[in-house]
Amino acid sequence: MTAVTPAQANRMIVKAKRTALEDKLDGQLEALNLWPVRQFYFHPVRRWRSDFAFPEQQLLIEVDGGEWVNGAHNRGTGSARDNEKDHAAIRLGYRVLHFTGSQVRSGYAAREIAEVLNG
């Protein structure tokens, strides 16, 4: 058995929480009869994925957890990477929506996505 460093353990915990948020949003969307593609590769060259996508409607959804713990999406390098990815998606004709964990938990994210799709 190999030991896990504290940094590795923290990354595993963060990933589990993020996956739980994505599962929650997926269930909320299904309850609204919306069926997104999860982990959608949207770029023809880069290996960028969106957490959720409605490809026919050119809509990408990102769940940005860790809003209160200085998560990767809130720090300089992570924010710059997110911006680059978003800009590439927009150039390809996608709309991109970002939601925090609390917006997913409250149901706001699912309602907003439904509004955009049914607009």
Is the entire prediction scored with pTM above 0.85? no
Residue 48: which CATH number? 3.40.960.10
Domain that holds residue 104: 6-118
* 10 occurs within a structural domain: yes
* 85 occurs within a structural domain: yes
* 1 occurs within a structural domain: no
> What residue ranges of the chain have pLDDT lower than 70?
1, 9-18, 66-76, 78
The string of DSSP codes covering 29-46 is: HHHTT--PEEEEE--SSS
The count of structural domains within the chain is 1
Are the CB atoms for 24 and 104 separated by under 8 Å? yes
* 64 occurs within a structural domain: yes
